[in-house]
């Protein structure tokens, strides 16, 4: 396992290899498809973004509300390809890490290589387990989206696998080649 802090993700993203197991700590922002659509609309309008894209890591998740005494509810990944239409533009603006489940479009993989980004996969169906890695959760934008609003999470030792790396390594392509 490789320990990575999001504050060092820009550098780490260029060296991590597909298949590596990572424990990610630091600031991560949640955003699903509706939030991505709004972020791109803000970019088109010249508006202020809810978080700085440069060096950011986005978790494709819509956490459920926290129960009393908890920081967050279930916090599992959603299917990443719904964000593919927006991702190359965000990568060009500095996004360097993404967390979700499932494969990515070739255009996203090419943009990851061009901009030095990494795509991590989290275990689907284990949202309660993922929630145990969240130390704090603050809703920061698009409150009307409910569980799909943008949240700033502070994570500690979130277990992930590098699914697509910045040099073109891709676990999904490897699996397809074997099939």
Residues forming the active site: 36
Contact indicator for 62, 56 with CB cutoff of 8 Å: no
SS3 string of the chain?
A: CEEEEHHHHHHHHCCCCCCCEEEEEEEEEECCHHHHHHHHHHHHHCCCCCCCCCCCEEECECCCCCCCCCCCCCCCECEHHHHCCCHHHHHHCCCCEEEEECCCCHHHHHHHHHHCCEEEECCCCCHHHHHCCEEEEEEEECHHHHHHCEEEEEEEEEEEEEEECCCCCEHHHHHHHHC
If we measure between CA atoms, which residue out of 162, 3, 156, 160 comes closest to residue 72? Answer: 156
Q: Which residues are registered as beta bridge partners of 2?
A: 22
């Amino acid at each position: 396992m490789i320990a990575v802090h999001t504050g060092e993700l820009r550098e780490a993203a260029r060296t991590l290899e597909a298949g590596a197991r990572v424990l990610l700590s630091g600031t991560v922002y949640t955003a699903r498809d509706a939030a991505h659509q709004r972020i791109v609309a803000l970019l088109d309008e010249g508006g202020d973004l809810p978080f700085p894209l440069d060096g950011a890591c986005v978790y494709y998740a819509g956490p459920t509300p926290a129960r009393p005494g908890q920081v967050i509810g279930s916090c599992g990944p959603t299917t990443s390809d719904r964000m593919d239409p927006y991702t190359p533009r965000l990568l060009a603006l500095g996004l360097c890490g993404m967390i979700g489940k499932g494969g990515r479009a070739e255009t996203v993989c090419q943009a990851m290589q061009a901009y030095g980004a990494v795509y991590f996969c989290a275990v689907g169906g284990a949202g309660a387990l993922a929630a145990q890695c969240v130390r704090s959760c603050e809703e920061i934008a698009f409150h009307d989206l409910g569980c799909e609003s943008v949240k700033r999470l502070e994570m500690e030792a979130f277990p992930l696998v590098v699914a697509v790396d910045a040099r073109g390594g891709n676990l999904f392509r490897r699996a397809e080649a074997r099939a």
